[in-house]
């Protein structure tokens, strides 16, 4: 392969480097209530991308001037652990992490019923333990589970996945190599029951037809992810509900 050339990410048989078909997400794992000291928590992995989310609140903030009279304030911190990447990442918040914290907050705000908790603050921490592409979308998925685990009222769960274009083919749930060498990366998050898109970004170029197809692939995948989220919560709480 010459310098600057795109590596072959789709094999002759149409599968990807890790054997997945274009429409396949990576193996997904979800757990809730994984931390004792947080009000709510969740652990979610999409392949090698592993993310922990923790929620504190709703609680009265120490700085009283920060509250709003009619609703809770949602604060989000997205952080990549120094050991989450091949090379040690600086623990100090980067511009990318500050931007992603805002993007993730905006992806969750439409579903959290903040009006039920006036004059309070909800703090959400997203810690990327291992990064292999799709950390913002895995972060959103873990975050909405952690909010539900904290008992915070929501209109729906939010689920995220990134669709990419590699060697001219649209693929679901891109990993780091596909993100790095692919032609396009489209992270999306949806509240599938409400039919709401709460996060949509596009890096690279897609034709109008490709964009429509990519949105359809995201929706189809996220309906399944949302179902898995619901199942994970039910498994944890169904025994409580039966009492």
- Residues forming the site for ligand ADP (CB under 6 A): 85, 89, 96, 131-136, 162, 176, 179, 185, 187
- Residue 132 or 149 having the CB closest to ligand ADP: 132
- Residue 55 or 128 having the CB closest to ligand ADP: 128
State which H helix or E strand residue 90 sits in: none
Q: 47, 41, 49: which is closest to 20 by C-alpha?
A: 47
- Residue 84 or 114 having the CB closest to ligand ADP: 84
Torsion of CA 116, 101, 218, 23, to 10 degrees: -140
- Smallest gap, in angstroms, from Cβ of residue 97 to ligand ADP? 9
Token representation of residue 90: 């600086």
- Residue 40 or 182 having the CB closest to ligand ADP: 182
Residue nearest to ligand ADP (CB): 135
- Smallest gap, in angstroms, from Cβ of residue 228 to ligand ADP? 19
- Smallest gap, in angstroms, from Cβ of residue 143 to ligand ADP? 13
- Residue 114 or 198 having the CB closest to ligand ADP: 198
- Smallest gap, in angstroms, from Cβ of residue 3 to ligand ADP? 20
- Smallest gap, in angstroms, from Cβ of residue 121 to ligand ADP? 26
Q: 145, 124, 136, 130: which is closest to 74 by C-alpha?
A: 124
Cβ 175 vs Cβ 45: under 8 Å: no
Residue appearing with tokens 């409580």 = 240
- Taking CA atoms, 164 is separated from 81, 97, 197, 215, in Å, by 25, 21, 17, 11
What letter would DSSP give residue 94? Answer: P
């Amino acid at each position: 392969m010459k310098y600057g050339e795109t590596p072959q990410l789709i094999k002759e048989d149409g599968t990807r480097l890790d054997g997945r078909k274009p429409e396949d997400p990576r193996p997904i794992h979800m757990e809730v209530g994984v931390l004792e000291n947080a009000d709510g928590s969740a652990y979610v992995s999409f392949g090698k991308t592993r993310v922990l989310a923790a929620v504190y609140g709703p609680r009265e903030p120490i700085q009283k001037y920060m509250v709003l009279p009619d609703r809770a304030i949602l604060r989000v911190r997205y952080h990549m652990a120094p050991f989450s990447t091949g090379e040690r990442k600086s623990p100090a918040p980067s511009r990318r992490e500050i931007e992603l914290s805002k993007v993730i907050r905006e992806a969750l705000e439409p579903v959290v019923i903040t009006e039920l908790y006036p004059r309070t603050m909800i703090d959400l921490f997203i810690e990327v333990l291992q990064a292999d592409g799709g950390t913002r979308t895995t972060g959103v998925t873990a975050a909405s589970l952690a909010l539900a685990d904290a008992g915070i009222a929501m209109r729906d769960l939010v689920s995220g996945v990134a669709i990419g274009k590699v060697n001219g083919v649209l693929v679901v749930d891109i990993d780091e190599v596909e993100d790095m060498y692919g032609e396009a990366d489209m992270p999306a998050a949806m509240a599938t029951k409400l039919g709401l898109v709460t996060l949509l970004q596009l890096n690279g170029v897609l034709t109008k037809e490709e964009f429509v197809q990519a949105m359809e692939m995201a929706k189809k995948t996220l309906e399944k992810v949302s179902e898995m989220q619901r199942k994970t919560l039910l498994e944890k709480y169904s025994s409580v509900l039966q009492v």
